[in-house]
Amino acid sequence: MTETIAEQQATAAGSGAAATEQFRARVSAGDVHTDTARVDMLATELLTAAHDIVRRHKVTYDEYNALKAWMIQVGEDGEWPLFLDVWVEHAVEEVAGEHREGSKGSIEGPYYVADAPRLPAEATLPMRDDEKGTPLLFQGQVRSVDGTPLAGATVEIWHADDEGFYSQFAPGLPEWNLRGTVVADDQGNFRINTVEPAPYQIPTDGSCGKLIAAAGWHAWRPAHLHLKVSAPGHQLITTQLYFKGGTHVADDIATAVKPELILDPTPVEGGAGREVTYDFVLDRV
């Protein structure tokens, strides 16, 4: 009971701070090398678009100051990773993946953590003894675009629990709960036992929540599995997989759902829970 209460006390500030810390640990602005001409073009077009909005809609000083205060608060709340991943990343991902021949990608989101425990091809994700949720067997094969099985491919998987919370981003959860790096067998096959995640609201008690309330939007993401699948000589694919008929599949706040990413699990024959097979096809580097 204590753990459940603690988990429910997850806040936008806490999640935002954790997301910012994780992102900074993996990516530094100094690591990005973009030539001056491209920075000039992108920054100028972004500012021009903002100027156009101001002029077309006759933005007032009250509205401008409200925006300035809100942007400052987003930074103080540590919610820039959340804001960008929810409302901007899907367009960047679309551009990045437009030439892929293999599996479809989707956004990474703000809750990825590198170096999850390595697990064998047939594995059960780390979870609590009394983990809530419908048991799910997620299985498949990793292949190259020419059909060659990719031995030893890695399948990083992470997802929310049955309450919609992610380990390391909400208190009361074990560090690697429902996170793992599964190493496929010599035929690229994997079998992962986990539980089905729940749909969840992005944090609404911080700056992003204020935007959602002011705009009259909903804050919900459909239930989904996060994955990063990779193999030597092939392009890593980052994706999310959703559940057919799930709440908010049709109106995901992050606009990240694609038809190719919707799973249709079936009951496990003679057992508990559901199972689904989904294969990954990786493009060569």
The 10 Å Cβ neighbour count of residue 183 is 16
Q: Please give the pLDDT value at position 2.
A: 37
Q: Please give the pLDDT value at position 33.
A: 73
Q: Please give the pLDDT value at position 18.
A: 72
**Mean pLDDT score of the chain:** 92
Q: Are 199 and 222 in contact (CB under 8 A)?
A: yes
236 class by beta-carbon count within 10 Å (0-12 exposed, 13-18 middle, 19+ buried)? middle
Q: Please give the pLDDT value at position 4.
A: 41
252-273 pLDDT tens trace: 999 999 999 999 999 998 889 9
Residue ranges of the chain with pLDDT lower than 50?
1-8
Whole-angstrom Cα distance, residue 132 to residue 8?
Answer: 14
User: Over the Cα atoms of the chain, what is R_g?
Assistant: 20
| Domain architecture of the chain: domains with CATH | 95-282 (2.60.130.10)
Whole-angstrom Cα distance, residue 279 to residue 285?
Answer: 19
**Single-letter code of the amino acid located at 129:** D
Whole-angstrom Cα distance, residue 223 to residue 241?
Answer: 8
Q: Model pTM greater than 0.85?
A: yes
Q: Please give the pLDDT value at position 27.
A: 67
Instruction: Identify each DSSP E strand in 176-231 by its residue range.
Output: 179-183, 189-195, 200-201, 220-221, 224-230
Q: Residue 15 — φ and ψ, nearest 5°? A: -65, -40
Which residue has 């929310």 as its token pair?
160
Q: Please give the pLDDT value at position 11.
A: 62
Whole-angstrom Cα distance, residue 102 to residue 133?
Answer: 31
Q: Please give the pLDDT value at position 271.
A: 82
